Structure 1
Amino acid sequence: MIIMYTSGEIAKLCNLTIRTVQYYDKIDLIKPTNIVENRRYYSDEQLQIFQLVCLYKNLGLSLKEIKKLLQTKEPALLLRELLIKKKNELDDQINDMNRKNKKINILLSEIENDSTMPVLSDKDLNDLMIKKDYFNSKGKLTNLFLIGYVLMLFVSILLSSLIAREWFILVLVINVGFLLFLVYFHAINSAYVCPYCHHKFTISWIKDLFSFNNGKKGKYLKCPSCKQKAWMKETYRD
């Protein structure tokens, strides 16, 4: 027995309005199987398509994109492409919301400290946001790195004075290994802020080892978000 659904039943099962079901018919998104006395009837297979459309809509896909998905011969490939595009859009929106949240926190901090109306431009807020990230965390990372480096030198001097020359290579290997550990530790605890789009990102420890660090300027890197190359301020990884 073939199960058929009216527009009202489809609307109820998919949490849609009857007008929406009718609109999908009008734009040739999902056509009814039969129309009897001006009443639309849909099959069980079409119910599943309605449910898919609802899912794609909730993920943020447009009706135009969904229509392409339903018509293409390779829906999986197109869906992957659309989802990657949507994910990138959402990542940009999240980064933008995080930047706005930081700006709000900075303004609140300025008001609480000064009790007056802050007179700041958007550029001033951007500069304050980068400096706040940079100075709140840079000291911690630098101190940890310096302490580790001094400890490594101390151990090297101590071992060199206690062992014979033939053990020098072993001591050297230990020192190099310890130095690589410090670089790795630094990389997994640090992040960088782009001066153009203010995107916060991380890099691998190998890239951290071979990328040039110019003190207060930070590291010269390529932002994965806006693709600009610049001196990226260093901050603490979340």
Structure 2
Amino acid sequence: MYTSGQLAKRCRVSVRTIQYYDQKGLLHATRTSSNQRQYQEDDLIRLQQILAYQQLGFTLKDIQQLLNNHNDSSPLRTLIAKQREKATATRRQAQAQVDSLNFLEKQLADSQITSTSLNKSINYGRKQPQKLRQLRYKLLIWGLLIDFLFWGSLVIIVWHEGSIWWFLLGILLSVLIAAVLVCDYYRQVIYLCPNCQTEFTPTLKKWLWAAHTPNTRRLVCPHCQHRSYCIEEYRHS
């Protein structure tokens, strides 16, 4: 037999928690002649189940249903699926928040973003990191191919005494691929002015020669004429 205090100590919860579960009908205490609550060994096991279910995020209503149908696994399977879906959504929301924080941190370091533009900048960049990562990853793969063509043609010339035409062909292909990649990248990005929040696309010439960081380019906004490190983002089709 356990008193409320002993049961609470065994499961590392407060006496108030035990009393609360008792009031909700999750635990069933017997009463002594002095009206003191007492609990059986089965109540200890039941309390451990309640606490385990609570750690999984189940509501007290769900837990009551599970305890009342402990011989039937179908309610538990249903609640597991529902809770897993809820936990997955929460995880996605948390990841979106982390992405927004990372995005904001980068913009504070790279640009002149102000407090008045924080909300729009965060909302604008919330879904951007993954798209940009995919675009830059593709660029990296093609960049490695360019390196292979250039250095491969050079190896043919130096080590295998091949024709100089192999080297020239390697350079030509590298330049052509690089030009296509640059144009493709240019068509898939857009810029956000940190001063007035206008989205714009600079001319190819200005874009190509502008000073830049990994996430921004120093451009003149066509709307406010303010020169700043504008935020590079993925252009939605």
User: 1:135: which partner in 2?
Assistant: 135
Deviation of 1:145 after TM superposition, in Å, equals 9.5
- Inter-partner Cα distance in structure 2 for 1:67 and 1:42: 18
**2:16 is equivalent to residue 19 of structure 1:** yes
Question: Identity percentage over the alignment?
Answer: 27
Deviation of 1:138 after TM superposition, in Å, equals 2.7
User: 2:126: which partner in 1?
Assistant: 126
Q: Residue 77 of structure 2: SS of its match in structure 1? A: helix
Deviation of 1:52 after TM superposition, in Å, equals 0.9
State the TM-score, normalized to the length of structure 1: 0.53
State the TM-score, normalized to the length of structure 2: 0.54
- Inter-partner Cα distance in structure 2 for 1:20 and 1:43: 17
Distance 1:81 1:146, change over 3 A: farther
- Inter-partner Cα distance in structure 1 for 2:83 and 2:145: 39
Question: Which residue, out of 89, 99, 102, partners 1:102?
Answer: 99
Question: Which residue, out of 46, 49, 69, partners 1:49?
Answer: 46
Q: Residue 36 of structure 1: SS of its match in structure 2? A: coil
User: 2:28: which partner in 1?
Assistant: 31
Alignment of 1:1-238 (within 5 A): 4-72=1-69, 74-117=71-114, 119=117, 121=120, 122-126=122-126, 128-140=128-140
Q: State the AA in 2 paired with 1:126.
A: R
Deviation of 1:127 after TM superposition, in Å, equals 5.1
- Inter-partner Cα distance in structure 2 for 1:40 and 1:98: 46
Distance 1:127 1:19, change over 3 A: closer
- Inter-partner Cα distance in structure 2 for 1:71 and 1:47: 16
Deviation of 1:39 after TM superposition, in Å, equals 0.5
- Inter-partner Cα distance in structure 2 for 1:123 and 1:108: 14
Deviation of 1:107 after TM superposition, in Å, equals 1.3
- Inter-partner Cα distance in structure 2 for 1:145 and 1:84: 45
Deviation of 1:76 after TM superposition, in Å, equals 2.3
Q: State the AA in 1 paired with 2:75.
A: L
Deviation of 1:77 after TM superposition, in Å, equals 2.0
- Inter-partner Cα distance in structure 2 for 1:95 and 1:88: 11
Q: State the AA in 1 paired with 2:133.
A: D
Q: Deviations over 1:134-167 (max 9, x none)?
A: 32323345678999xxxxxxxxxxxxxxxxxxxx
- Inter-partner Cα distance in structure 2 for 1:11 and 1:127: 46
Deviation of 1:75 after TM superposition, in Å, equals 4.0
Q: State the AA in 1 paired with 2:110.
A: N
- Inter-partner Cα distance in structure 2 for 1:131 and 1:116: 22
Bigger CA radius of gyration: 2
Q: Deviations over 1:165-216 (max 9, x none)?
A: xxxxxxxxxxxxxxxxxxxxxxxxxxxxxxxxxxxxxxxxxxxxxxxxxxxx
Q: Residue 105 of structure 2: SS of its match in structure 1? A: helix
User: 2:170: which partner in 1?
Assistant: none
Q: CA RMSD in A?
A: 2.8
Count of residue pairs the alignment pairs up: 146
Deviation of 1:129 after TM superposition, in Å, equals 2.8
